[in-house]
Structure 1
């Protein structure tokens, strides 16, 4: 009989059975005295790195990879082997990653790419100004790129500098020069993203979907709120002040004289709708991150974290929201990376600038510039 392998998150566990949440739904995994248990370290998520474990190590929320032979009805899976990655081990790894990205991370929008020297110029945004930084990949640097129809870091593909284009968002880990003008990168993640804004038309809480009328095209867009989506509300007074500040300041990036602060690290978010996190093989610690800003600790990402969380049920028809997502093949339907409510002051400012012959970045003729919205998840 052929062995099968199934992965997922533990829903419940007892002496004889584990209920596993898989991509196809709940599955009963039956256990016996012949079942072999092994624990996989999140920092080295390969089966050959597994060490002996036991059923007592398994708890609700842990990630499992189970192998066994399905019976004819395929309603249960008698487990021959169980590979385990615990919630606590994953959390410890995320804490370490958070510390690395806090001290050694940078992110911004790609301004230009020199395919000969492989140098990448990025605009790193802070609360008060934008800084230009020249990024150079180290020898053997790991380069990943988000898939066009995915917001999950776990689905990012191996890439190269050749695929990076002006306008892409970029996140990197490495060493920044003392003057802040250059950055030597050991890990790079890029993606092509879009931002849309408009008034809410309908809200389907059961489907976790919102339909908005795009302020630029006047067409309806269905926004899917996935388990990795971040939903926040911009405080009204702050939105008005920042939109007014943007309207009054000169545009463009300044040269990097004083380094902006370290970039907030990638972190795994909880579900937007209160559901379970994305299931997957051991090592897949969810699908999203806290986003992508240009400041550092105390900068844009820190600011965004302090904004109140919201749910789809709190959105009302007529309310103006803005959404970031990956560019995909179905522009009329997107999966939200971030959804920000309370952004009407920024949209009004962008429309006023466009009417006066303002910038062309963002939504076609609109230079839609909402702090904290640019971004994507990380490791």
Structure 2
């Protein structure tokens, strides 16, 4: 499952990439442009999406990127500006009124916080339509100019990373130049790109998963990166003990060490259930990788490669937490955290017991497929 984390932990999160650039650029400009009288006061900033507008009360309710609900009150001196998608300065910003702001718009607010409300001094708005357009543009750019994979080597002296590709060109190794790249790294428990903190090459470790935006060389052996986002992830097998629907948590024990663990499910988590045909294909792939290839599946010609495991899982219908029950065996992928008793799920695949049953050796025979964290490496 970690081999395809880019499909969920990177590409999905890259949809938000444009918003972060917009926030950083405008924040710097707006702070510099504050009037001197205001600069002497404690000015705070926040970024969020408009959830409610009360034009009579001259307020806008935002849901910030940290999840907080904040009511912003505007006054006669409040400045509202609209900025086009992709702009890095305020040179093309146009003055607007509170009435021009709509639900779903993304807003950067500078002002002063009181006990009851947040007094907005400057609101810089990117309209929802512009946000969607920019997201689509950046997602397309990451698809066209992005690569992703597993870090195999880090050369701190040359600033180069050896990346083993995943997805298109899987298994190929590419030398990634990073001397001009901006680094970001996911924080523990979060897969939101806007929450990813500034990072450096020094934080990269062998085994990290990384996605880079930039340009390939003509021979596709090297890559010059402009943007890099990385994280450390792991996939483990667990057996469900109990489902807590209210807290969106799964209480389970690990397959290998039988230790208790809590799996947290959030809005970014993706859940699937492995069907019997897919379980058979996964078992076949695991045996093939172990050098003990099983006979071809029905309809598959000898020598024909097995369909990619994660592609098969990803095409299965999504399920909800309510579809899981005690006794289910899961493969769970999440970001590595210091607290090993808890894991925030990126991907959850139920039905792993079908795979393990297909891999079980005959009585008196040794286990052919080596398991790690209770799972075959194909996960």
Match of 1:20 among 43, 62, 66: 62
Structure 2 match to 1:80 = 121
Distance 1:167 1:3, change over 3 A: closer
Structure 2 match to 1:199 = 239
Contact map agreement 2:184 2:197 (CA 8 A) in 1: yes
* 2:346 aligned with 1:369: no
Which blocks of at least 5 consecutive residues in structure 1 are unaligned? 252-297, 371-379
Could you tell me how far 1:214 is from its partner in structure 2?
0.9
Distance 1:56 1:36, change over 3 A: same
- CA distance in structure 2 between the partners assigned to 1:5 and 1:134 by the alignment: 40
Structure 2 match to 1:374 = none
Structure 1 match to 2:367 = 356
Contact map agreement 2:47 2:107 (CA 8 A) in 1: yes
Contact map agreement 2:48 2:107 (CA 8 A) in 1: yes
- CA distance in structure 2 between the partners assigned to 1:301 and 1:97 by the alignment: 24
Contact map agreement 1:5 1:66 (CA 8 A) in 2: yes
Matches within 5 A, 1:78-117: 78-117=119-158
Q: Identify the structure with the greater helix proportion.
A: 2
Per-residue CA deviation, residues 320-342 of structure 1 (Å, 9 max, x unaligned), is 22211111111101211222223
Distance 1:8 1:180, change over 3 A: closer
* 2:260 aligned with 1:220: yes
- CA distance in structure 2 between the partners assigned to 1:49 and 1:229 by the alignment: 38
Per-residue CA deviation, residues 46-87 of structure 1 (Å, 9 max, x unaligned), is 77875423323322222323344455xx22334333222332
Structure 2 match to 1:265 = none
Distance 1:327 1:184, change over 3 A: same
More RCO (CA 8 Å, sep 6+): 1
Mark the structure with the bigger radius of gyration: 2
* 2:108 aligned with 1:55: no
- CA distance in structure 1 between the partners assigned to 2:126 and 2:266 by the alignment: 23
Contact map agreement 1:133 1:180 (CA 8 A) in 2: no
Match of 1:211 among 240, 247, 251: 251
Structure 2 match to 1:156 = 196
Could you tell me how far 1:97 is from its partner in structure 2?
1.3
Contact map agreement 1:196 1:324 (CA 8 A) in 2: yes
Contact map agreement 1:325 1:336 (CA 8 A) in 2: yes
Could you tell me how far 1:14 is from its partner in structure 2?
3.0
Contact map agreement 1:126 1:300 (CA 8 A) in 2: no
- CA distance in structure 1 between the partners assigned to 2:95 and 2:275 by the alignment: 50
Contact map agreement 2:213 2:226 (CA 8 A) in 1: yes
Structure 2 match to 1:248 = 288
Could you tell me how far 1:12 is from its partner in structure 2?
1.4
Per-residue CA deviation, residues 202-223 of structure 1 (Å, 9 max, x unaligned), is 1111111111211112112111
Structure 2 match to 1:322 = 331
* 2:174 aligned with 1:134: yes
Q: How many residue pairs are counted as aligned between the two chains?
A: 319
Which secondary structure state, in structure 2, belongs to the residue aligned with residue 59 of structure 1? coil
Contact map agreement 1:27 1:75 (CA 8 A) in 2: no
- CA distance in structure 1 between the partners assigned to 2:170 and 2:336 by the alignment: 24
